[in-house]
Amino acid sequence: MKSILQQPIWRYYDQSISAKQRSPLESFATDDTLCQLVGQLVSPPTVRTWVHEASVVLGIQDHRLPYVQQGMELLESRGYQPIVRNSGGLAVVLDEGVLNISIVLSEQMDSLSINDGYDVMVDLVKGLFPEVAEKIEAYEIIGSYCPGSYDLSIEGKKFAGISQRRLRQGVAVQIYLCIEGSGSQRAALIRDFYEESLQQEETKFTYPQIVPEVMASLSELVDPHLTVEAVVIRLQQYLHHLGGKVHPESFHDEELTLYGFYLKRVFERNAKMLERHE
C-alpha cells in the first residue's frame, strides 16, 4: 500500500536556523498559513522544519493554573520565554536542541482521520531513524510532559510528542523531537513550573505529575553525536529517497499577505491569554 509520505511533490520549508530568534507564535501562524494554502490546493503538500530558542509553549489548560503567573515568572527566571497557544495540549519545551517538524496535507481529495495524521508522522520518524525504527513505540508515557497516546519512546523513554492542527481543509501534523541535550532536565523544568503554578491547590483538571527520568533526547538514546543539523540533513535525504520531487520554497509575496493575517490573529489571541488577571 502506498504511503501518504509518497507524494509526487513535496514543498520543503526549512526554518531550522531562520526561526531560532523568532517567537514560536510565528511558527503557529506559519503552519496556519500552510494549512490554508495546502488545504485549498494552492500549495503542494509541505514539510517544514523549525527550531526556536528557549521557550515554553503553554496550552489553554496550563493558563488556567491557579498560580500561573508565578509559574511563568519561574520559567523566565530560568531563561525561558513562556507563550500560550490557543489550542489543546499542555506545556512543552522548545530550545536549540529540539527540532520541530510539520507535515501539512490537504483533505480536499481524501479525508485524513486523526489517527492517519499521527501515523504519517510515526512513519516519517521511523524513516529518519532506521537504526532504531524497530524500537520506536507510540503510546502514552505517564510522567512525561504533554502526555498523549502518540508519545514516541524508546524502551520507555519519551523523546517526542505529536499534535495536529486542522484548518480550511488542511491538516498540519506537528512533532517536537528532543535531539540534543538532556530530556530529563527539560522535564524537570516543567515539573517545577507545575509545582509553582499549582502550589498543591485542588483543580478540576488533572495536571501531569512529571517524572523527569521517563524523558530523554535522541542523542542520549541513539547516538551521542546526533545533532539537530544532522537530522535536518537526514530529513532532506529521506524526502528525496521517497521518490517524489522536493522543492525548497519559503513564502512568496501573495502568501506573505495571508501569513500576515494569521500572524496578527495568533499574536492577538496570545496577548489576550497573557493579560494579567486583576
Looking at residue 218, its pLDDT comes to: 98
Residue 191 is inside which H or E element, if any?
Answer: helix 183-198
Alpha-carbon radius of gyration of the chain: 18
Compute the mean pLDDT over every residue in the chain, rounded to the nearest whole number. 93
Q: Over range 249-271, report the average pLDDT.
A: 93
Higher pLDDT, 2 or 75: 75
Give the whole-angstrom CA distance, residue 91 versus residue 233: 28
Q: Which of 35, 146, 226, 231 is catalytic?
A: 146
Give the whole-angstrom CA distance, residue 12 versus residue 16: 12
Residue 249 confidence (pLDDT) above 90: yes
Residue 117 confidence (pLDDT) above 90: yes
Q: 17-26, 43-52, 205-214, 264-273: lowest mean pLDDT where?
A: 264-273
Looking at residue 1, its pLDDT comes to: 52
Q: Tell me whether residue 35 is one of the annotated catalytic residues.
A: no
Higher pLDDT, 163 or 109: 163
Rounded to whole angstroms, what are the CA distances from 220 to 31, 63, 98, 182, 215? 29, 31, 13, 7, 10
Looking at residue 277, its pLDDT comes to: 43
- In the chain, the domains with their CATH numbers are 9-274 (3.30.930.10)
What's the distance, CA 152 to chain centroid? Answer: 13
pTM for this model (two decimals) = 0.94
